Amino acid sequence: MVVQFHLGTEKSRGNCGGGCEISIDSQKIHRLIGRAQNYSMKVYLDGKLVEKDDAKVSVFDHGLLYGDGVFEGIRFYAGRVFRLDEHIRRLYDSARAVALTIPIEPDAMELAVLETIRANGLQDGYVRLVITRGVGDLGLNPRLCPTPSIIIIASKINLYPEEKYEKGLAVVTCATRRIPHGALSPMVKSLNYLNNILAKLEALNASAGEGLMLNEQGFVAECTGDNIFLVRDGALTTPPISSGALAGVTRAVVMEIAAELGIPFSEPYITRYDVFTADECFLTGTAAEVIPVVTLDGRPIGEGVPGPVTQRIRESFHKLTESTGTRIY
């Protein structure tokens, strides 16, 4: 085949053993390369789209000084934002729980998210939506922060390598316990993530993909950034919110998928014993999506490979992300 490459006025011929011709417009290629080189990320900051390097907050913002604020992580696929309404509702619930008044209405926030994605020309990616308490003084008093700040970043995220989705994660149990509801409700996605970060450091030090967090009573709460699910005898279980788990959006989607697939589902209190004796295990999260777990503390879960129920749920989840969501364009 003879292949002809036409790059502008230049031509080259290559022998590939049988009869095709490829023509490439070099000027178009150069234009596309130029656009990529000139691309500059736009960030939504308090009602305006600004260049990435100009997206700055004050050193007196209590989001920086004290972790005083809330956030959401949101995925979008093939030009659609997945479960946007649910994420925005949870954002406003988190803000209300910490007495933080977001300066725009939920509908306007959804439009701001879509506007930010459009400004960056993205079809697939991840949105980080942050509400800080705003600028105050060096004291704790939140009433001295009159104007919360809104930050929306549209970019990409790859939480785990692709091979981990095929072969599964190794997880270890963390000594760091999940914050109890009586201290700070795990339902609040606050900017103070030290509890999760300290547990994540334990997992990293053990060369594990994730860390399992227990509550003060010794029951399984969640992982450092994901909800956990178990499969035993074809039935699905996950810890209840009261154990210290976040009410994950992807967690709720998996519950819906289980119902549609006819998989029995419940939310009992779970211990490490239940994880060790499960047939399958997987984690869910907006960034993580659905990812299998194959070991806990060095012990294989089930056969030590991703199981069939996990695979069915993963497939159904991806079909949903490809066909549903709020249109961006």
Residues noted as catalytic: 189
Give which of 72, 58, 131 is closest to 99, Cα–Cα: 131
DSSP-derived letter for residue 188 is: S
| Lookup: tokens for 136 | 């105050």
CA–CA gap between residue 249 and residue 320 (Å, rounded): 13
CA–CA gap between residue 5 and residue 83 (Å, rounded): 45
Residue 14 zone, left/alpha/beta (φ > 0; ψ -120 to 50; rest): beta
DSSP per-residue codes, 113-167: HHHHHHHTT-SSEEEEEEEE--B--SSS-GGG--S-EEEEEEE----S-HHHHHH
Give which of 175, 273, 187 is closest to 227, Cα–Cα: 187
